[in-house]
Chain A
Amino acid sequence: MTVRVQTEDFDTGLEIRQLSQARHDIGAVVSFVGLVRDLNSGDVVSQLTLEHYPGMTEKSLEAIISQAKSRWRIEDALIVHRVGTLRPGDQIVLVITCSSHRGDAFTACEFIMDYLKTEAPFWKKEVTPLGEHWVEARTSDDKARERWDVHRDLCTKQIK
């Protein structure tokens, strides 16, 4: 498992090759890339600053991957999250999951993003024509995370 917090941009193709090369047990690689949008909650965003909690961030991302590994058959996973100043169109976050079959890789990738959005200590501050403001957390992100609890309960019931 790899977790990195960095100011520099990332190359998804390179990261995928590094994760999967020389491994013939991996049959599926799923990647998610998050980008900075120029419009958020009706405001035109010209710039974004990302702050994080060094130390806790890395632990929290590792814990999220571990949780995903305990629920699905993931051979390897990677999270790269950028911090500092970003502009619309810039890449913010990369999640890659590798598995022997696509189902687990798809599901685990979505699970990791939903948990990252609600548990990893990052905060966004936007610059708009009206000035700077901290981005508010969305209840839709909490709901997206909560559905994984329901998903687990359903799976447990099916096994019983």
Chain B
Amino acid sequence: MKIKLFYFARLKETLKYSTEDLALPDETFTVLKLKAHLAKRGDVWEQMLMGKLKVRAAINHELVDDKATIADGDEVAFFPPVTGG
């Protein structure tokens, strides 16, 4: 399964990634499982995605929770709680 990932704001800055194409094993991935998968990249990844700071996720531009399932070709984004307006 191939997905496109985007990171914004504090996550983008700390992880030093704004976007990437990622190949995942062909099994069911929820948002939480994807976060755990990415967290294996190192301490910073674990802190940013699985730590105390709140992280929100979107699949194909829709806000989702940790239980949402990711499909092949999806655009997944991780970002902090929003602060516009």
**Partner-B contacts on A (CB < 8 A):** 34, 50-53, 55-56, 59-60, 81, 92-93, 113, 116-125, 134-137
Contacts of A113 in B (CB 8 A): 85
**A interface secondary structure, majority:** mixed
Q: In the complex, what distance in Å separates the CA atom of A134 from the CA atom of B80? A: 10
Interface bin, chain B: 10 to 19
Q: In the complex, what distance in Å separates the CA atom of A116 from the CA atom of B85? A: 7
Question: Which of A59, A123, A136 is the one whose CB lies under 8 Å from B84?
Answer: A123
> A51-B9, A53-B6, A59-B61 in contact; A119/B80 too (CB < 8 A)?
no
> A119-B63, A121-B8 in contact; A53/B77 too (CB < 8 A)?
yes
B71 at the interface (CB under 8 A from A): no
Contact A93 B83 (CB under 8 A): no
- Identify the interface centre among B6, B61, B79, B80: most chain A CB within 10 Å of its CB: B61
Pick 8 A–B contacts, CB within 8 A, sort by A: A50-B84, A53-B58, A56-B61, A93-B85, A118-B81, A119-B82, A121-B58, A123-B8
